[in-house]
Amino acid sequence: MDAADTVEEAVAALLTRMAPLLAASRDHAQKLDAEGVFASDDLAALTRAGILAAAVPTLMGGLGIGTEPARAVATAELLHSVGSGSIALGRIIEGHINAVRLVIRNGNEAQRVATAEDARAGHLHALWVTDGPEALRYIHIANGIELSGEKLFCSAAGHATRAVVTAMGPDGERRLLLLTMRQGEEIHHLPAGLQGVRSAGTGRVVFNGVRHGSATIFGAPGAYLREPEFSAGAWRASAVTAGALSALVDAARAELVSRNRAANPEQRQRLGRMYINAETARLWTLGACSFGEDADAKAERATAMVNLARIAIEAACMDTIQLVQRSLGLSAFVQANPVERMCRDLATYLRQPAPDEALSEAAAYFTDHPLIAGWD
Ligand SMILES: Cc1cc2nc3c(=O)[nH]c(=O)nc-3n(C[C@H](O)[C@H](O)[C@H](O)COP(=O)(O)OP(=O)(O)OC[C@H]3O[C@@H](n4cnc5c(N)ncnc54)[C@H](O)[C@@H]3O)c2cc1C
């Protein structure tokens, strides 16, 4: 932790250190996207500023970002600001926080201590749960396990030095594994690249024949999908999205001003709706973060609130993309214009798992527990 007197001061100092680095990441994003190159330098600068270590609980030498309910609002602010600089970096940092959180909540003492030390030492953790055609499996061998299969849509593939993955065991149970990378796994580009978020290094990782010690297995069978943690944790991706939305709205505003079109009444109407959308997304993030970070307290309500937040923020983003494209016209489709990339990045990152189910489950909950019943 910093020399600051309190955790709050240390978090504030971290956010201050990050601000110029995030402004720089916004400047770099266009070139990295064009070249499809991983945001290594930006990530290294943020790591030096302490962003990876911040996910470690305070009692283990971190700031509890994403791992302690008391840091919910700070986590929201951090992810929102990273997303406003670069949605690709937001994806990478969000994955790191989720991975560290899973180990801290489910690992044994030795695994928790090792992860805390690694994160403090600047090891980037990834979370890869999406299976490819050959789902990831393991078998027991002498002194450990042997893996087969692959993971798809792996952000920071080839860059993360630790990865939390889900894998099916010989007993048919899906378990969490904490893997040290560079043990022989193969990193591939996606067969067809993603349209957006192109500097998150999202690839395919093949683990055939890779061996690890048994101590890599952590948590109970099915721990990854255990509720409310699984659904309620989705708010963190939404926080990144809300940050990216705020940056898009600001870029559209700046272009309209510079083209002397912002005072036009129809443009003002659209700008007004964009500002409402950006603030709606920010407020939903703030509303959902405390539920999400302390989901065990009111499990069903937390899940339902986060599910509503997810869909509300998704709707705000999709509406804004249309408003921006209508407002700027063809300029929003010129590849040299950062707005074009920002729309692509946002549209791509909005594709998170099972949105229909999220809204249906939230609707079912609030039909039985009307929202009007209280503010808490
Ligand atoms: C930039 C980026 C980086 C990523 N990085 C990672 C990573 O590091 N690790 C990782 O594990 N994953 C990663 N992912 C993958 C991500 O976690 C999700 O798996 C993926 O985005 C799911 O999107 P989808 O639209 O295919 O979801 P789906 O859940 O398939 O949703 C598509 C549509 O189908 C509907 N639907 C869903 N289930 C059903 C069903 N059973 N029957 C009928 N309809 C259904 C949904 O409601 C939705 O309308 C990344 C994704 C992106 C975009």
Give the strand pairing for 162-168 and 125-128. parallel
pLDDT digits (tens, 9 = 90+) for 66-89: 999 999 999 999 999 999 999 999
In 142-210, DSSP assigns E strands to 144-148, 150-154, 162-168, 174-180, 186-189, 203-206
> What's 325-363 look like in SS3?
HHHHHHHHHCCCCHHHHHHHHHHHHCCCCCHHHHHHHHH
Q: How confident is the model at residue 375 (pLDDT cuts 50, 70, 90)?
A: low
Q: Give residue-wise pLDDT tens across range 39-70.
A: 999 999 999 999 999 999 999 999 999 999 99
DSSP β-bridge partners for residue 7: none
The residue-averaged pLDDT of 83-97 equals 98
Mutate to test the pocket of ligand 1, among 33, 352, 360 (most ligand atoms within 8 A of CB): 352
Q: Give me ligand 1 centre to Cα 354, in Å.
A: 6
| 106 contact partners, CB below 8 Å, separation of at least 6 | 176, 218, 219, 220, 223
Gap from CA of 125 to ligand 1 centroid (Å): 20
Give the ligand 1 atom nearest the CA of 130. Answer: 11
Q: Are 119 and 189 in contact (CB under 8 A)?
A: no
243 bridge partner residues:
none
| Ligand 1 centre distance from Cα of residue 353 (Å) | 4
pLDDT band at 195 (very low <50, low <70, confident <90, very high): very high
What is the model's pLDDT at position 295?
84
Strand partners, 166: 176
- Ligand 1 pocket member 200 (CB < 6 A): yes
Residue 37's pLDDT band (cuts 50, 70, 90): very high
Please give the pLDDT value at position 371.
78
C-alpha count within 13 angstroms, C-beta hemisphere, residue 324: 34
Query: For the segment 99-135, what is each residue's pLDDT rounded down to a tens digit?
Result: 999 999 999 999 999 999 999 999 999 999 999 899 9
Tell me the C-alpha to C-alpha distance, in Å, between residue 200 and each of 54, 87, 229, 252, 345.
Answer: 20, 8, 25, 24, 11
Q: Quick count: other Cβ atoms within 10 Å of Cβ 141?
A: 11
Element (H, E) at 217: strand 217-218
Is a pLDDT exceeding 90 seen at residue 5? no
Tens of pLDDT, residue by residue over 231-268, are 999 999 999 999 999 999 999 999 999 999 999 999 99
Residue 346 in contact with ligand 1 by CB distance below 6 A: no
The pLDDT assigned to 376 comes to 57
Residue 2 has pLDDT above 80, yes or no: no
Cα angle 56, 221, 204 (rounded to 5 degrees) comes to 70
> Which atom of ligand 1 lies closest to the CA of 196?
1
Cα 195 from Cα 59, distance rounded (Å)? 41
8 Å CB contact between 126 and 163: yes
Answer whether 348 contacts ligand 1 (Cβ < 6 A).
yes
Tens-place pLDDT, residues 246-256: 999 999 999 99
Spatial contact of 347 and 196, defined as CB atoms under 8 Å apart: yes
Residue 373: what pLDDT?
Answer: 57
User: For the residues 344-354, what does the mean pLDDT come to?
Assistant: 96
| Rg (alpha carbons) of the chain, rounded to whole number | 21
Task: Assess whether the C-beta atom of 322 lies below 6 angstroms from ligand 1.
Answer: no
pLDDT over 70 at 374, yes or no: no
Q: Give the list of residues 6+ apart from residue 43 with CB closer than 8 angstroms, or none.
A: 89, 92, 124, 159
Domains identified in the chain and CATH numbers:
3-124 (1.10.540.10), 127-224 (2.40.110.10), 227-375 (1.20.140.10)
Regarding the beta carbon of 155 and ligand 1, being less than 6 Å apart is answered yes
What average pLDDT is seen over the chain?
A: 95
pTM of the model: 0.96
In short, whether 354's Cβ falls inside 6 Å of ligand 1 is: yes
